[in-house]
Structure 1
Amino acid sequence: MSAASLVSLRGVAKRYATGTLAVRGIDLDIAPGDFVALLGPSGCGKSTLLRMVAGLAEPTGGRIAWPGGQPSARDIGFVFQEPTLMPWATAQANVALPLELAGMPRAEAASRAASMLARVGLQGFEKAYPRALSGGMKMRVSLARALVTKPRLLLMDEPFAALDEITRFRLNNDLLELWTAERFTVVFVTHSVFESVYLAQRIVVMAPRPGRIHAELAVDAPAPRGEEFRTSADYAAHCREVSQALAAAMAPAAA
């Protein structure tokens, strides 16, 4: 375990009450400011691992340690696969909710929420209800809600998977811009090789049955990244390398 890590996982395993072993033997260090992608096929335990780091599920083996001190609820932001917004509340009210639950005065929470909505490109939509927003806009609200408490760690569980390609590219770019400016730590779950290479500094490739780490690869392209990187030979080479590691992880011999 590294004292410089934000969070360290050692021998982490999760077996459900049904007897299913979801993940086993996970050793992973996440440093402050890291952008780490967890890449693997459906059912390999990526989301289970993310939920254990968030404290939403308990490991049944191993341990998760926080060398710098146990985080508070405000230190961790979580963006789920679905936006999970309150349909009866405006975008601003949805984003302000974590601050109000933490005891912040309503006016201050509303101001902070409006500012964060502007940061994710939704200035002017503060009073809009979820039913009036597109899928991409709802996900921006969800991202704003996760970031409004200024968390040390942002956990993202395939947040853009259901969006069209153009919207997904835009949100990838906006996320990288926010991360470059604020340098919070990100753990991003995806099953897309292309998305993982575009976003992450480190890609953790997971093998299924049960979930475990097969390989870890670095993407050394500098930030900020943009279309120049996405269309470069360097990007294509990284995608080939990651694709080969994923194929090896899914091969019968790796099971």
Structure 2
Amino acid sequence: MADPALSETEFGSVAVRLRGATKVYDNGVTALGPLDLDVARGEFVSLLGPSGCGKSTALRLIAGLTTPSSGTVSVSHRAGQTERRHSIGFVFQEPTLMPWASVRENVRLPLKLSHAPAGEADARIREALVQVGLAEFADAYPRELSGGMKMRVSLARALVTDPDILLMDEPFAALDEITRFRLNNDLLTLWRDLKKTVVFVTHSVFESVYLSQRVIVMTSRPGRVSSEFRIDTPEPRVEDFRMSAGYAGYCREVSQALSPSYAGLSGA
């Protein structure tokens, strides 16, 4: 079951908690669990594992987009927030922008759905576009944007409600390496500046180690926690970290931990 959102006092320093969470689909496939996971407030955590291991399912459980078949999923909220949707921003793998709407109107969508006053919404949209570096493209349409810019619009749309928790489902997987590196750096800057809790799904060992304070390695389906790694580096983390011996060492350790998850997969 999904627990009601818990207050800061009840939840302490934990933003997200899963206990024995499983997901069994109608076709009988057990996609996830049992999964136990805590994510601290302000922490950047990556979920890493093979395709089909339940990483995206875990995000959807946290977001309240689906319910666990068993176990509990609890999400904290700020004072005055009574619904999970006010606490969470979700960035999907595809930008899913409305092609007929401008950048400004695409970012406005969650505020329109929550009936935010027009003046307040306009101010929030301007702020979100500045945060992702797209202030001058507010009147542009998706067809006029690069892949990286479209993903920035999707990120602005997730940030415009000022969520406590940002869930990101392989948002940079389809981008070229240069664009992906740039967006990784920008995301780290946003995380430090805005102090959000981030749960990030990726297939990339290199991306998970570069971005995260903690990497959770998951087993093949049904996904469970196989191992976890705390990435201890000086902050702020900068581009030089990619070239360091420490980075290479973490990547090697995470890769070794991930290998058994692929061993039993046909065609892997």
Offset at 1:192? 0.1
Offset at 1:67? 5.5
Matches within 5 A, 1:73-222: 73-222=85-234
Q: Is 1:65 aligned to residue 77 of structure 2?
A: no
Q: Is 1:56 aligned to residue 65 of structure 2?
A: yes
The aligned counterpart of 2:15 is 6
Aligned partners of 2:34, 2:261: CA distance in 1, in Å? 15
Q: Which runs of 5+ in 2 are unaligned?
A: 1-9
Offset at 1:46? 0.4
CA deviation string 1:166-209 (max 9, x = no partner): 00001000000000011100000000000000000010001113
Aligned partners of 1:149, 1:184: CA distance in 2, in Å? 12
Cα distance change on mapping 1:12 and 1:132 into 2, 3 Å? same
Moved over 6 A (4+): none
Q: Is the 8 A contact 1:180 1:223 kept in 2?
A: no
Q: Is the 8 A contact 1:32 1:185 kept in 2?
A: yes
Name the % identity: 60
Kindly provide the amino acid, as one letter, of the partner of residue 30 in structure 1.
Answer: V
Q: Is the 8 A contact 2:217 2:226 kept in 1?
A: yes
Q: 3-state SS of the aligned residue for 2:136? A: coil
Kindly provide the amino acid, as one letter, of the partner of residue 6 in structure 1.
Answer: A
Q: Is the 8 A contact 2:77 2:84 kept in 1?
A: no
Name which of structure 1's ranges 41-50 and 93-102 shifts more when overlaid on structure 2.
Answer: 93-102
CA deviation string 1:24-51 (max 9, x = no partner): 1100001110100000111111001110
Kindly provide the amino acid, as one letter, of the partner of residue 247 in structure 2.
Answer: Y
Give the aligned length: 253
Aligned partners of 1:176, 1:190: CA distance in 2, in Å? 15
Kindly provide the amino acid, as one letter, of the partner of residue 206 in structure 1.
Answer: M
What's the TM-score once normalised by structure 1's chain length?
0.95
Q: 3-state SS of the aligned residue for 2:109? A: helix
Q: 3-state SS of the aligned residue for 1:155? A: strand
Cα distance change on mapping 1:9 and 1:144 into 2, 3 Å? same
The aligned counterpart of 1:24 is 33
Q: Which runs of 5+ in 1 are unaligned?
A: none
Q: 3-state SS of the aligned residue for 1:22? A: strand
